[in-house]
């Protein structure tokens, strides 16, 4: 059984994951408007993945005998700027999410909630991958910044994400 504080924290993280999905979906719309379908596809797939993360938390709470409470999700921005600016903000966002997951893990440790700690290991590993992927794209876009036509090639490459 989840403690009230862990259940509350997980419900808050579920909201944060759903906000991340909203954020990536808004970025996808931005890229569609900028005629960059590869970046739009990447961010749309990322939105789907963030929704799946939220559902992992949802299922964990219900499987643990807890109660899911859904919170309002803030509206994300509409405009984002260049692909480099977007992916820099993606990297910063993922670092923020990593911090949230680490805080949740620390709370589980403090409460000797071993089951939640085990569940959170998946998210900790996932965040290493999220930051690595965003960082790699940021570095590619920095190299291409002087030659904006190269963005089309990177857009094509990024759009191949499965």
Residue 94 contacts residue 134 (beta carbons within 8 Å)? yes
Nearby residues of 103 by Cβ (< 8 Å), 6 or more positions away = 9
pLDDT tens profile 43-88: 999 999 999 999 999 999 999 999 999 999 999 999 899 999 999 9
Which structural domain range is residue 60 located in? 4-158
Residues in the chain: 162
Find, among 62, 98, 95, 71, the residue nearest to 15 by Cα. Answer: 71
d(CA 161, CA 152): 15
Q: Give residue 15's pLDDT.
A: 98
DSSP symbol at 82:
S
Angle between the N-to-C axes of helices 83-110 and 4-33, in degrees from 0 to 180, rounded to the nearest 10? 170
Q: Give residue 157's pLDDT.
A: 72
pLDDT tens profile 106-129: 999 999 999 999 999 999 999 999
Angle between the N-to-C axes of helices 150-158 and 83-110, in degrees from 0 to 180, rounded to the nearest 10? 40
Q: In terms of DSSP H, where are the helices of the chain?
A: 4-33, 37-63, 83-110, 114-144, 150-158
Total domain count, the chain: 1
Q: Report the pLDDT averaged over residues 97-102.
A: 98
**CATH number of residue 125's parent domain:** 1.20.1260.10
């Amino acid at each position: 059984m989840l403690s009230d504080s862990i259940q509350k924290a997980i419900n808050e993280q579920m909201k944060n994951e759903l906000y991340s999905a909203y954020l990536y979906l808004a970025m996808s719309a931005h890229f569609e408007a900028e005629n960059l379908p590869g970046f739009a596809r990447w961010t749309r797939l990322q939105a789907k993945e963030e929704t799946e993360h939220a559902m992992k938390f949802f299922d964990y709470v219900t499987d643990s005998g807890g109660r899911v409470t859904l919170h309002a999700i803030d509206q994300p921005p509409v405009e984002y700027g260049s692909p480099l600016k977007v992916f820099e903000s993606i990297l910063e966002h993922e670092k923020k999410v990593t911090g949230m997951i680490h805080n949740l893990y620390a709370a589980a440790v403090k409460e000797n909630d071993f089951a939640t700690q085990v569940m959170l290991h998946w998210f900790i590993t996932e965040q290493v991958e999220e930051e690595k992927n965003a960082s790699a794209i940021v570095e590619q876009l920095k190299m291409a910044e002087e030659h904006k036509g190269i963005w089309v090639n990177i857009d094509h490459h990024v759009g191949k994400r499965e």
